[in-house]
Amino acid sequence: MSSWNRRGYAAIPIYTRGVIHLDHNATTQPSPGVVEAMTDALTRLWANPSSIHRAGQEVKNALELARKDVAALVGARPKEIVFASGGTESICLAVRGVLANTDRRVVVTSQVEHAAVKRLIQDLENRGCIEARWAPVDRRGAVKTEAIDEMIDNDVALVSVMWSNSETGAVQPVGAISRLCRDRGVPFHCDGTPWVGKMPVDVGTAHREGGIEDPTDEQANLGACIDLLTFSAHKFHGPKGIGALWVRPKSWKVHPQQLGSQELGRRGGTENVPGIIGIGAAAREATKWLADPAQIAERTALRDRFESRILQACREAVINGSTEPGARIWNTSNIGFPRLENEAIVMMLSERGLCASAGSACSSGSLEPSPVLAAMGVPEPIAKGSLRFSLSKHTTTDEIDRAAAVIGECVAALRASTSVSA
């Protein structure tokens, strides 16, 4: 139901009940436990953690407990975690911080990175700071490891590849790429924002000085060879505005981008106490959830159920990327509806109380197909009609079944209107 604001403009309808939210790669709802922890931080733990009086030190202790919880989520030691304002700043700190401590000026990355990585590297290259090398992907959306291998030489300062693609869910060969970088003596940064909190991670330093000497393939796939890992709280039911960087100890130095005494001198500025308390609470909950392997299996089956019903309801629909087990993270589905416009579908779904997102992170009004899907070789008629659906650990079977029905109805209505227009 629409309302009017004080200036007389019609407000956009706000759905408070009955909404089916399948856009969790954009953000997740903070859990009740996170909200409670942050409320306590705002009302009781409001002193400055740098103050030496008792109130300040109580807050400092709470921050360090949160740091411990975040470290446990990724298999690290607490002092290795640096808090920042989000995933984007964490990425900037990792990339710029490494470049500031080396004379090498080549960065290797992939064609399907998130804008936080892609635009940063493009900007650095446009200003003459670096040379960028862009590795291609295969039709599954997975980065070609052999291309990374060919691109690494003595001029490479850093390799940066995300753990899973936020648009298609394609799992990248992080283990193979990280071991390749290790053998070549090149630091490997992994954007873990779509992955951390949803899948197991073990960077291998929590109980091992300096990490694992010779990790197995399974350990490498869990992150044991990664040198820098970045992630963000709001992707796993924590608050927005807080993220973290993990740097492997005794390996690569990261020069701070904001000078100050906080975060052991690695990131200056008075700490975002409620945010840090919030990410700590979210990390504790995610660690508990991930401790039960059945959770991921159940979520994967739910995602597959959703796709099966969409393909039944929309005969022309196409799953973008591989449907092989383990090829995609459990929560992400990218589906193409040929010869339709994704923005039109998103708007119609929204009117029916279903939240999803267009497959492209393009600017407002642009109908260009997603660069990620283009890199995968998805035909333009499919790419332009592709949507991303992303589940959370709280998505229910009932929501999935109702969503599939709504999508089928909306796609049919749009096809009918397109036929009439033609």
pLDDT digits (tens, 9 = 90+) for 259-303: 999 999 999 999 999 999 999 999 999 999 999 999 999 999 999
The pLDDT value given to residue 368: 74
Tally: H helices and E strands in the chain: 13, 13
Q: Does a structural domain hold residue 10? A: no
Residues 326 and 303 in one domain: yes
- 245 and 280 fall within a common domain: yes
Domain that holds residue 131: 32-290
Separation of alpha carbons 322 and 335, rounded Å: 11
* Same domain, yes or no: 229 and 326: no
One domain, residues 308 and 284: no
**Residue 364 included in any domain:** yes
Question: Distance between CA atoms of 184 and 149, rounded to whole angstroms?
Answer: 9
* pTM confidence score: 0.93
Distance CA 348, CA 339 (A): 16
Q: Check if the beta carbon of residue 293 is closer than 8 Å to that of residue 83.
A: no
Whether 362 is catalytic is yes
How many C-beta neighbours within 10 Å does residue 124 have?
18
371, pLDDT greater than 50? yes
User: Does residue 338 lie within any of the structural domains?
Assistant: yes
Split into its structural domains, the chain has a count of 2
Same structural domain, 252 and 348: no
194-235 pLDDT tens trace? 999 999 999 999 877 656 778 888 899 999 999 999 999 999
The burial class, CB within 10 Å (0-12 / 13-18 / 19+), for 78 is: middle
Residue 412 sits in a domain of what CATH number? 3.90.1150.10
Same domain, 346 and 270: no
| Rg value, the chain, Cα | 22
Closest CA to 361 of 166, 77, 94, 138: 166
CA atoms of 243 and 235, how far apart (whole Å): 10
What tokens were used for 228? 């820098």
Place of tokens 């660690």: 287
Taking only the tens place, the pLDDT of each residue in 96-141 is: 999 999 999 999 999 999 999 999 999 999 999 999 999 999 999 9
189 contacts: CB under 8 Å, gap ≥ 6: 91, 94, 95, 98, 158, 159, 160, 226, 227, 228, 229, 230
Each residue's pLDDT tens digit, 302-350: 999 999 999 999 999 999 999 999 999 999 999 999 999 999 999 999 9
The last residue of one of the domains, among 275, 290, 305, is 290
Residue 332 Cα distances to 26, 71, 255, 319, 328, angstroms:
11, 25, 35, 11, 7
Q: Domain for residue 3, yes or no?
A: no
Tokens encoding 124? 């650095």
Same-domain check for residues 148 and 252? yes
What are the CA-CA distances from residue 71 to residues 80, 226, 279, 316 (Å)?
A: 8, 15, 11, 45
Phi, psi (deg, nearest 5) at residue 169: 85, 0
198 and 115 belong to one structural domain = yes
Task: Please tell me which residue in 181, 314, 355, 362 is annotated as part of the active site.
Answer: 362
Residue 9 has pLDDT above 50, yes or no: no
Stretch 172-181: mean pLDDT? 97
pLDDT tens by residue, 188-197: 999 999 999 9
| Residue 96 and residue 25 in one domain | no
333 within domain boundaries: yes
Alpha helices in 190-234 (DSSP H): 217-219
Per-residue pLDDT at 15 exceeds 70 = no
Of the residues 290, 318, 339, which one is the last residue of a structural domain? 290
Whether 280 and 298 share a structural domain: no
196 and 209 co-located in one domain = yes
Would you say 338 and 316 are in contact if contact means Cβ atoms under 8 Å apart?
yes
At 135-168, the pLDDT tens digits run 999 999 999 999 999 999 999 999 999 999 999 9
275 and 34 Cβ atoms separated by less than 8 Å? no
| 377-414 per-position pLDDT tens digit | 999 999 999 999 999 999 999 999 999 999 999 999 99
Instruction: Flag whether pLDDT at 11 surpasses 80.
Output: no
Q: Is residue 285 part of a domain?
A: yes
Is 261 in contact with 50 (CB distance < 8 Å)? yes
Do 221 and 167 share a structural domain? yes
Q: Would you say residue 12 has pLDDT above 70? A: no
Q: Which of 290, 314, 345 is the last residue of a domain?
A: 290
